[in-house]
Each structure stands twice: as structure tokens, then as C-alpha cells.
Structure 1
Amino acid sequence: MSIPVSYGQSWQQGEWTVDTAGAQLSVTEQGNSCGQVVILVHGWPDTHHLWDGVVPDLAKSFRVVTYDTRGHGRSTSQGTVAEMRIEQLADDFLAVVDSVGADQPVHVLAHDWGSVQVWDAVCRPGAHRSIASFTSISGPSLHHMGRWMNSRLTKRNPKALWQWLTQVLSGMYTLFFMSGIVSRTFFRVFGTRYLWSLFLRIVERVDREDIHLSETLTDDMVSGLRIYRANIFRTVLFPHDRFTSVPIQLLVPTRDPAVRPASFSDIDRWTADVEIQRVRSGHWLPFKDPALVASAATAFIDKHSPKE
């Protein structure tokens, strides 16, 4: 692991790799060397560049750590489906936490599958000893999602059944993503930076200058499809009770086509301390409104940081 290089009195920047279960994770740190540690975790099909618009605001006050999850960007993988299980991705995240060497629990901001894997970490026994707070965007615990969907069916009233149906319809795209050679071929052909940027501009209404994509986007799209095959059926269809005492902030986009806002309606069952902020946005909120993401995360981190 390389030693971060300091610039000036409080600015710090560095890069290193973390070896974990057959993968090498590329990690970058920047920001205020005297601040609380904030780790940012991306989802599919992104890399650490998802946070390029968010980091500058956070770096004024915090030590900001970003990394490419296994099989994405500059991080390697073994190329198997099994290694993409949420439990392994959560282990990877905790390995990054350990590599930072913070003397206090870290704060986390995550999106999409990044949030899903961090949910697994914060629901583990003793998680509060290493994680001080978690701000989640568009990425539920798959166990919580499974329990919620089961509860909608058992209620057997029109509202609950409608919520179940709309979430099922919203998640139908995952069947295509799990189709193997069909989906891989599709993204090899159409998963270009130009077309993905066009999708984000038209569907998500993101300004061109706020879209930050990796040069490895097509490879990341294809590699990341393994996450769906490794987790959807075995977790959502066979969920377990998962609780956390880590303070949680949910930023819930109201126009998210993949995760319906109603799916978080039972979150109090699984969390000891949760705050929910609904945001008028689509799925890619870190691109759509990076200033809002940074502001909300900062306020929540300050609330759950040690008082001097």
C-alpha cells in the first residue's frame, strides 16, 4: 500500500490497492487530512467517477475515500459469478475501511449496488464499531426488500398489492440483466459512453457536464451483470431478518424507475435510527444534483460525529 502524500497543512491525496479474496481494489483518498473519514461506494455500471461532482464539496471538510469495486474500473476480479455475492462485496468494503487506518468509525455514502453491499456490512454484529453513519441512495438491503414484498402480499389489500405489483414491474429489467450471453452481447454492442451519456441526459435529465464516466464503461457494464445473477433470486426470494444500530439516512429519489419509494415504508422495522429525505430526481442523483448529495451527507455526518 502506498503512503498518501500531503500537500500543504491540511490537504491530503493518495492512492493504494487493497488485496481481498482474489481481487485488487483501487482506492483513492483526497481532502482534509484532519477531517472525519467518508468512504464513497458506487454501483452499476459506475466506478469511483460517479462521485466526481460530489467529492469537491466533501473534500473541504472530510478525508474522502473512493474506490472501484471488484471487476470495475481499475479494480480486478477473478471473473466468477460467486465472487459478486453481496457478502463478498461487503467484505471488500470492510477491507477498504481497514486500509484507511482511521482512529474513529468512518462514515459512508453509497449509491445503487454500492448501497446494497454496504447494507450487508452495517447489518452485521458490531458494525457500529467501524461505521459511524450511512447515507444510502437508491440501494435497499435486498433482505429488507424481500421482507417488504412478502408483507405486501400478506396484507392482501389493494394498496399493498399495487405497491407489490409496481415494484415487480420496476424490477423486471433485472431478468434481462441476468440473461447471460444475451445481456452481455447487448452491452458489448450498445454500452458505449456516448449512448449511456445520451440515456442519462434524456431519461435522467442530467446535464452533460455533470456526467462522469470511466473509459472502462463497457467492460464495467458487462462485468457488473454478474452482481444481478449472484444475488437477486437467492436474496429477495429467500430474505432474512437484518437489523442495524448504525444511523441511516435515506435519500429517496421520487422518480427512480428501479426502486419504488414505497419499498422503504417498513424501514423502521430494521433500523434503530433512520432519517428519510425524499428528493425529486431519477435514479442517478449523484449526477443529477451532486451539491444536494454533498450537503445532505455533510449534515448527517456532522450530526453523528464526535463533538469537541
Structure 2
Amino acid sequence: MAGARERRVRAGEVELCVAELGDPERPTVVLVHGYPDSKEVWSEVAGHLAGRFHVVAYDVRGHGRSTAPRPLRGGFTLEKLMDDFLAVVDAVSPGRPVHLVGHDWGSVQSWEFVTSARAQGRIASFTSMSGPSLDHFGHWIARRLKRPTPRRAGQLLGQGVKSWYVYALHTPVLPELAWRGPLGKRWPAILRRLEKVPAGDYPTASLPSDAARGAWLYRDNIRPRLRHPRPDAHAHVPVQLVTPLGDAYLSERLYDDLEQWAPRLTRRTLPAGHWVPRTRPDLLATWITEFVTAVESGRQGVAPRLAPGRYAERFGGQLVLVTGAGSGIGRATALAFAEAGARVVCVDRDGGTAADTAGRCRAAGAPEAWAETADVGDEQAMEKLAEKVATAYGVVDVLVNNAGIGLSGPFLDTTPEDWRRVLDVNLWGVIHGCRLFGRQMAERGQGGHIVNTASAAAYQPSRALPAYATSKAAVLMLSECLRAELAGRGIGVTAVCPGLVDTGITSAARFTGVDAEEEKRRQRRAARLYGLRACPPEKVAAAVLEAVVRNRAVVPVTPGARGARLLSRLSPGALRALARVKPPL
């Protein structure tokens, strides 16, 4: 771990290698790794936390540069792992409780610490990921065996399949031979291919021997605890649970009843695999920082609250950028993400309306919100924006390319200048956003999501909207192409097709082939019609958040948009016939 100070801590028959970063006078965060890892799994997370906290990571006995017990059998029990933890805490934070973070088996053993009287008073909070309490797991299994409904039986079967590796690790000799042989050599490549874990200082060269010895974590603890789980395994500290929804080894259903055991519980979810300390270190560090800061502020008696909006457990602390955020769908979307606890960058070519939206976002629950002025159709302006956002705020987790303008009128009355204006904003604005911020997401290697606002006009032809519909059809196809290209990088892409929405775009839309007075009359009429028939922008904003959560490709929002989408597939001739109807303007 770059820049870390190392020390050796004696715990009974073993000597533990402990690494420290940051100021020892600040709150201490202890990071406990899992199997078959070493403390280096935390390198990226520790680096992000070190500016705010005293960060400690140690090699669990038998792993990394810590020594192994002799004999191995019986040397990895939860009781001995607690001895190690308490020895480390006494050395690095004497007299002051620490904030505990555990992943995989680091989380499994940490549950033992936070539910045991031996460690009471030595821990201030616990962040758990990808590792349940064996006691809670034992009770979870017992409840489902006692009342095996079809749903519960399916949950048991599903977790049983995911736990295939547990059975393998209980076999004698074979796991050790595999890890010290071909599996140990191929494990880094397996992680990169299946889990998208980046290369670097992890895993360490000690992996084969770490994994071979660490098999005793399973053999010493799994069977006895699952058969005889403790009835009093209640957490005595606030707990933050981070659940990766793509975990190949643990079902999210394992945590359905967790409030029973951890009443001061804060839940977080993210679309990621098992190794989130390596694949999502930025977001993980943000959540740990928020949680620890809330506990340190004096609210130890309650769990830190999430933002009030829907999907707060998913978007809290994430960085979201919305273009066209000064009004309409853009403003509603920025506010929806703010209510979900996201940090929001509000971009609009009108700096005043962007600043107003940013202020509303902070009032709605965003921990931070900023206003930026940019014309999305200006390539250089967007390049400067992307550089500034990355430098000042970080890499965007969710990008919403929403800025757009309307243009109505026959094709033969639409000038080249009209075409350029519409395509610059509606299409090139999306291209610039996807290219610049999408590249940053891809280079970071931690996934993300791009939402492009298209329109029902993208698949619903109209004699009155040739330029607008063309720009939105291009956005729809661009989104589909990008979705295919970026899927392997963990970046989702969604095209949202709102339909009739009551926004300011109608009153500001241009009409070709008419004089200024007639254009104003049509703008007023269009605004009245949309106000009577259209849905509110908040409905589109809600659809955007749900689309990101569910990683949807194309999202028609209004009934009209959904009907047109269905017709475009089942009866395109009917849509072509409707396109010939002259609009009532």
C-alpha cells in the first residue's frame, strides 16, 4: 500500500502485519480483507480515505505478511480472529473506538466482533459488504427449513448453488493443491475477466499460500456456526450494509431480515460484482466517509439517515451530471437525483437557471450541488466542462444528456441553419456528452450509466417534425450502439422517450415557414395543448432513475409514447398513415 507505515503486532502465536495511512489523531477506520485476499485489496479505498481519517489495514493471520498459526487446523476460529482484531485495535487506537469495514471473510469475522460483548466499546460503527454473519446465516437457513414455502425453498436452493465453492473448500488436500498449482497462477486473470478487477498491486505474490492456508477459515467455522448459531448475535453499533447486486457468491435475499439483528441499519446497493473494494473504490470510499462522519458527529444512538427520495440506497453519494438542468425535464431529473442523496452537477446554457436548480437540489437533500454554464452544442465548451468536472468534482457516475430544443415545420421550409441548430443541440450535444464523460467513465474502470433524452418522435414519423424527429431518432440509435459497445465496461446506456411532457420546450420551440407573429401564436397554442394533454416532467424524472437502477435500454414514458413504440413494431404502416395528418396548429 503506497505511502503506508507498517508495524508488527503480536497476537498470541501469530504476528500481524499492519499498515497505516493518514493522521493518527483523526478517527480510525480499520479495513479487514476477505478470502483469498490480503490487505492490498484495500489499496484504492485506503488512498481515498486517508485524507480524512486514520486508515488501518492488516493482513489476517496466515495471509500476506502476517504469520500463520501452527497447526493450521483450529487456528482460524472466529474467537482467534477476534483476538487478532483486538490486538490491532489496542495498538493503533488505544482508548478510542474504531470504525470497522469488512469485505467477504473480513465482513464475516467483523460481524462476530460487532455482535460480541468482548469488543463492545472498541467499535464505533461497521460497514459490511459481501460477507454475512454466520449466526444470521444459520438462523436464515433454519427459518426456511422450518417453513419451506416455495419462495423460501427457492431462496435456499439459489444460495446453495452460489455456495458451491464452500463445499469445495471443505474437501481435504485438493483446495491446497489447486491454489498452489494452476488456480493460484490463473486467479488474477480470472478476476480481471469475470469480475473486471483492474490490475495493479493486487493480488500479491503470496496469493497461492494465502489461499491454501485460508481454506481453514471455512473448515474451522462454517459447520459449527451454521448448525448452532448464537441466539443473541445483535449488533451493538450502527451498521452500513453495502450489497453488490451482481454478487456471484451471495444472494441479496440473505439480508432480508437483517434489521432484526442490526436495528441501526443503513442499506446501500450498487450494480457490481463481489470485489467492490477493487471495482468501485471511489463510491465505496464516499459511502464509508459519509457513514463514519455521521456517526462521529454525535448521532451514535441512531443509524445515519439516507436521503428521503426513492432509490436513496442506490444513488446516495454518487456524482450525477444533468444537462439542460435549468428547467423542465432536466430540472426535475436533477431534483430527483438530489432527493436520492446524489451529488449533482446542474448544467445549462443559462447560468442563472442552472444556479437556481443547484440551490433547489441542495434543499432537496443533495449533499453537494453545483451549477455550470455550457452550450452542449459547443465542442470546446463541453471539453472545458468535462475537464473541470473531473478535476473539481470527480468522474461522473451517471450522465443525463437532456438538453434539447424543439423545431416544427415542413421539411421544405426548414433551412440549413435550422438543421444545424437542431442537430448541434439535440444530437451533437449528446455526442459530446457521451464522448467526453463516457470516456472518463471507461478510463476509470468502475462502470457508470448514461441516459440520453430522445423522444417518441424518434420512432413516430410526423410531417411537422422532420428535423426534430431526425435528431431524436439519431439519439435513439446512438444510444443503442453505445449500449452494445460499453456493456463490457460495466457502463449502461438508456434512451428515454418521454412523449408529450409539459415543459418549457413548447413555448420556446421554433416554427419554420411562418412570420414572427404566427410563430408566437403557435408557440402559445402548443404550450396550451401540452399543458392539457402532457404529463409532468417529474414523471419522466422518476422513469430516468428507475431506468438506471434496472439498466433499461429504451424507456417510453407516457401512454402515447408506449403506444407509438408498440405500433412501430407491430404496425408501422399505421404510424406512417398517422404521419400524414396535418397537426392542429
Q: TM-score surpassing 0.5?
A: yes
Distance 2:177 2:291 in 1: 42
TM norm structure 1: 0.91
Task: Give how far 1:307 is off.
Answer: 4.8
1:124 corresponding residue in structure 2: 116
One-letter code aligned to 1:263:
L
Q: What's the counterpart of residue 9 of structure 1?
A: none
> Contact 1:72/1:220 (CA < 8 Å) preserved in 2?
yes
Aligned residue in 1 for 2:238: 247
What amino acid maps onto 2:262 in structure 1? T
- Residue of structure 2 equivalent to 1:297: 288
Tell me what 1:167 maps to.
159
The aligned residue for residue 6 of structure 1 is none
Cα deviation 1:249-298 (Å, max 9, x = unaligned): 11011111111100011111111211111111111111111111111111
SS at 1:186 equivalent: helix
Aligned equivalents of 2:83, 2:120: Cα separation in 1: 15
Q: Secondary structure at the match of 2:249?
A: coil
> 1:276 and 1:101 mapped to 2: Cα distance?
27
Output the CA distance in 2 between the equivalents of 1:165 and 1:101: 43
Cα distance in 1 between the residues matched to 2:172 and 2:271: 34
| Partner deviation per Cα, 1:216-263 (whole Å, 9 max, x = no partner) | 111111011111111111111221221122110110111111111000
C-alpha displacement at 1:133, in angstroms?
A: 0.4
Equivalent-residue separation in structure 2 for 1:257 and 1:307 (angstroms): 37
Q: Cα distance, 1:128 vs. partner?
A: 4.2
Question: Contact (CA 8 Å) 1:254, 1:261: kept in 2 or not?
Answer: yes
CA deviations over 1:167-187 (Å, ceiling 9, x no partner): 111112111111121111111
Deviations 1:76-129 (A, max 9, x none): 022322010112112211111111134421101110111111111110126441
Opposite residue 199 of structure 2, the aligned amino acid is R
Of 210, 213, 226 in structure 2, the residue corresponding to residue 220 of structure 1 is: 210
State the Cα RMSD in Å: 1.7
Give, in whole Å, the separation in 1 of the partners of 2:172 and 2:60. 21
Corresponding residue number in structure 2 for 1:283: 274
Output one character per residue of 1:14-43: Cα deviation in whole Å (capped at 9) or x when no partner. 321111121000111111333210000001
**CA–CA distance in 2 between the matches of 1:126 and 1:273?**
20
Whole-angstrom CA distance in 2 between matches of 1:96 and 1:124: 17
Query: Equivalent residue for 2:251?
Result: 260
Aligned partners of 1:225, 1:13: CA distance in 2, in Å?
Answer: 28
Structure 2 equivalent of residue 156 of structure 1 = 148
Report if aligned partners of 1:17, 1:27 keep a CA contact under 8 Å in 2: yes
1:14 aligned onto 2:5: yes
Larger radius of gyration: 2
Quote the Cα distance in structure 2 between the aligned partners of 1:239 and 1:154: 15
State the match for 2:169 in structure 1. Answer: 177
Secondary structure of residue in 1 paired with 2:85: helix
Which runs of no fewer than 5 residues in structure 1 stay unpaired?
1-11
Query: Which residues in structure 2 correspond to 1:181-200 (within 5 Å)?
Result: 181-193=173-185, 195-200=186-191
Identity %: 36
Aligned to 2:348: none
How many residues align? The count is 295
Pair 1:101-2:93 in alignment: yes
Q: TM-score, normalised by structure 2?
A: 0.49
Question: 1:39 matched to which residue of 2?
Answer: 30
